[in-house]
């Protein structure tokens, strides 16, 4: 097996594959684990185990797809987020570690027994992580994509939590008034941003990444619409791009939100902004 040659012969041992894998070691280990159903430890303790013909063929195909750039999470069909396991497919964005900040803030800003709304839920990662950490909460999660909602529904049952799912283009199908928290990680990449045609993003649903505009239009739709659906004193929290915090704070202030502020992610980047809706 060379860099260009991704084919794995039946009978090749795990150790031999690891030595000559055409992808990074960490990735080879994940794909081997996926195909053999062995844990990381078992891959080491059973490194002399030979792959069956079926496993070898599956692994070859995964190497080929990885070499073509497909994200590892789509190859294995799962990704860990906030300590939970989520099923993913190209119909949903792959949950990012950056987004754990939004979940942490949501946990802190949702009052006891509060009802929360997650807008543009995708795989359901935010809503499910929130209600998993806060079983006292009630949560509604919406998405415009029916395909995404199928995955999100699966993820809720996989993680043993109750979420009310709603197919809705932003607020169009929302009936419940007065949520105690609204959270969203909407599409916020500027149309034509070169990142959209690089790396993993090429394989992700484009409508989940960009608003096909200046990057702020969905953030604006949520900011202006949420006032009608928030209980007095409730928070709106939104994830946004690395250079959008000032614009989002300005937007929140212009719409009358109080205590407008931004929070930094682990990389020190202002990643989430929010404000409190005060009806008075």
227 binds ligand GLN (CB under 6 A): no
Binding segment for ligand GLN (CB under 6 A), chosen from 100-108, 126-134, 163-171, 182-190, is: 182-190
189 binds ligand GLN (CB under 6 A): yes
Footprint of ligand GLN on residues 53-92 (CB under 6 A)? none
Binding segment for ligand GLN (CB under 6 A), chosen from 9-17, 26-34, 152-160, 185-193, is: 185-193
158 binds ligand GLN (CB under 6 A): no
Q: Are 130 and 193 in contact (CB under 8 A)?
A: no
| From 50, 209, 231, 247, residue interacting with ligand GLN (rule: CB under 6 A) | 209
| From 60, 185, 223, 273, residue interacting with ligand GLN (rule: CB under 6 A) | 185
202 binds ligand GLN (CB under 6 A): no
96 binds ligand GLN (CB under 6 A): yes
Residues lying near ligand GLN in the complex (CB under 6 A) are found at 96, 98, 185-189, 201, 209
């Amino acid at each position: 097996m060379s860099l260009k040659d991704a084919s794995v012969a039946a009978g090749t041992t795990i150790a031999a594959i690891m030595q000559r894998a055409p992808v990074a070691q960490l990735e080879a280990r994940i794909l081997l684990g996926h195909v053999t159903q062995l844990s990381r430890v078992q891959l080491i303790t059973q490194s002399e185990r030979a792959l069956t013909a079926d496993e070898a063929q599956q692994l070859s195909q995964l190497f080929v797809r990885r070499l073509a750039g497909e994200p590892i999470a789509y190859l294995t069909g799962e990704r860990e987020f906030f300590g939970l396991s989520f099923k993913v497919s190209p119909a949903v964005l792959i949950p990012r570690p950056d987004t754990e900040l939004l979940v942490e803030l949501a946990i802190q800003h949702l009052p006891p027994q509060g009802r929360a709304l997650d807008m543009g839920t995708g795989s359901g990662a935010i809503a499910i992580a929130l209600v998993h950490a806060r079983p006292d909460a009630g949560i509604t999660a919406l998405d415009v994509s029916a395909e995404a909602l199928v995955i999100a529904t699966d993820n809720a049952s996989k993680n043993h939590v109750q979420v009310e799912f709603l197919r809705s283009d932003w607020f169009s199908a929302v009936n419940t008034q007065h949520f105690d928290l609204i959270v969203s990680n909407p599409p916020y990449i500027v149309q034509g941003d070169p990142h959209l045609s690089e790396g993993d993003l090429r394989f992700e649903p484009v409508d989940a990444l960009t608003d096909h505009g200046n990057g702020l239009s969905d953030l604006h739709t949520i900011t202006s619409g949420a006032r009608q659906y928030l209980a007095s004193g409730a928070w709106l929290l939104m994830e946004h791009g690395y250079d959008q915090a000032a614009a989002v704070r300005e937007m929140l202030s212009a719409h009358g939100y109080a205590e407008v502020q931004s929070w930094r992610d682990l990389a020190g980047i202002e990643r989430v902004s929010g404000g409190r809706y005060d009806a008075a």
